[in-house]
Amino acid sequence: MSTWPEYSVAALRRGNFISATSLIRAQVFREVQFDESLLTGWEDWDFFLSLAERGYGGVRIDEPLFRYRKHETGDRLSDRMVEAGNKRKTRLAIMRRHLRLFGVPTYAHYWGHHMKESLKGRANRSGRQRSDAEGVT
């Protein structure tokens, strides 16, 4: 039995749960362009949101159709997204691109959260810099 959830737009709005190795018809790729310029490691989530906006859905096939392994070097783009600020910025950019799915209130709420966390991070960094400059540990 699979641990992957069934397809739903609501789940997709929370985050990407669809494998980048999904089976998608060539006709769909011709109709909905995959934006390779994002280079965030989250291009697939952006693409799947674009599909949802155009009414495409998905079906989970509850059997393994491929094998995937991750090298320990951590050289995937998504591995570089570990820093919370990078994740928040990227999520906001994708939400802005897909406002029809997320809605302005949800985007505004998340933007406010991002700003609060960013300001908190800046205050912590400037406090550390001030302490380092003063020789305080």
Question: pLDDT tens digits for the chain (137 residues)?
Answer: 677 788 999 999 999 999 878 889 999 989 998 888 877 778 899 999 999 999 999 998 888 888 777 777 655 555 555 566 678 888 999 999 999 999 999 999 999 988 998 888 777 766 665 555 555 54
The Cβ-side half-sphere exposure at 14, using a 13 Å CA radius, reads 6
List, in order, residues 6 or more apart from 85 with CB less than 8 Å away.
117, 118, 121
State how far the Cα of 101 lies from the Cα of 12, in Å rounded to an integer: 10
State how far the Cα of 114 lies from the Cα of 97, in Å rounded to an integer: 17
Provide the pLDDT for residue 50.
96
In a domain, 3, yes or no: no
Please tell me the total count of domains within the chain: 1
CB 100 within 8 Å of CB 54: no
Range of the domain at 42: 9-134
In a domain, 2, yes or no: no
In a domain, 1, yes or no: no
State how far the Cα of 137 lies from the Cα of 131, in Å rounded to an integer: 7
In a domain, 63, yes or no: yes
Element (H, E) at 29: helix 26-31
